[in-house]
Chain A
C-alpha cells in the first residue's frame, strides 16, 4: 500500500499524545481523515455521511483549548465515526433507513457522541449499517453493501459493518457501534479489529435509534486494545437519560492494560461454542489459549437454547417496536427487514415469555461458571468473512444461514448482558477472525488485561492492510 496517511499509521492514543504535546494539531488530523474518506471509501462504502463543517469546527475548538494551556482530554483531536443510528446534532439520523430521513435533524448529540467529544475526540462521519440494525451483513437495500477492507468480495459483517470497515481500513482509528446479538463483535471479527460490547447499562444508549430495548448495547471499535480502553473509559458512565443505565461506579480500564494475566482464571468455553465454530475459528481460540497458558475447558450448558431465546426476544421486541410504522409505511422498509419484523410482530406472547424464562435460567447457569472463572474464551464468529451475497456457510459440515448464524457465538452473552471483547487474529485462511473474551458483569478490566496481553505477545493484532 502506498501513501499511508497519518490517520492510517497512528493509533488514537498516539494521535492524541501528539496533539497534546503540540507536535500536531487537531485540524491536521481531522483534515487528513476527511481526505482519506473522500479518497478511499469509494470501494468500501463504509461511510454514509460526512460531517465536514462540524468536524473542522470541533477540531479548531480542540486546538484553541491546547493554545490556552488546558487539557482537551485523552482523545484530543482524534477523528472518529459513528454507526448512523447515533444522533449527531444538526443531522438526520438514518438508522440505515429511508423512513428516518423524513424526521427532523437531531437537536443534540447522542450521549456516547457527547462523551467522546468531551474527551477531545472529533466526530467526522456516520457509517453504513443493516437497516434498523436488523442483520449481520451490512447489505443495506438503500445505501448498498459495505465491503470488507481485507477482501472486497467479502462482507464486513454487521450490523455495525461500516464502523468496523472504516476502522480496519484506517479511515478513522475509532468508531462507535451498537451490539444487540453481536453487531459490534461480528464485524470486528470479520474486519480484524478490536470491538467491545460492554456490560448492559454501562454505556448510555440515549440518543440512539433502539432496535431491541432489552438487548441493545453501545460500544467502541478500534485497532488497538489501548485505543479501545481509552474510548471505553471515556464512554462508561451513569446516564439518567437511559433508563437501563447503571449507577455502579466505573472501573477504568486503561490503568490495567499492562497488568498481565497473572491471577486471572481463564478457560475455553466448549460445547455449543465448538459446535458452531469451523476449524479456522477453533484454531484461533486454540492459539489464544496456548499463548495464555489456558488448560481448562468449561461446558456452558443451554447455550444453544440461549441463542434461540435471543432470536425470539429480538424478533418479538423489534416487531413490537416497529408495529405502528409497519402499519403506515411497510413499503419503505428493506423487504428482508420488513418480513423479519412482520414475523416478529406476529409471535405469540407465550413464546416471548418462555424465552424470557430461559434467559433467567441461563443467567444462573453462567453466573455459577463465573464463580471460579474470570474470563472465558470462544471464537467470535463461526467462520471468517463470507462472500457478498453468500446465503449459507459450511460449519462443521452443516450448512448454516449466513444472515441468521454469524451471531451464534455472540448472542448468548448479549442475552444476559455480559461484557464481551473481540480481539483480532489472523485465521489459517489468511482472513481476520476474532477471539471473544467474556467476563462477569462489570469485569471489563479482566477483558482488557487479557486483550492487552495477547496483543503484547503478538498473538492478536489488527491488520492495517487495505484491499
Chain B
C-alpha cells in the first residue's frame, strides 16, 4: 500500500504499521460495509447544526 502511495517502506516498517493500525480496523469492523448507500460525509454537519437535536444554553 505504501509503495502504491509513492512512499515505499521497509518490511520492518510495514510490519510495524500493520501492528499499529490493525486495532483501528478491528474497532471499526462492525461499522465497515454496513453504511447506507446515500449517506454523505456532510451528514455530520447537518446533524451538528440541527436545531431539534439541541438543548443549547443562551
Decide if A and B are genuine partners.
no
> Which residues of A pack against B, CB within 8 Å?
none
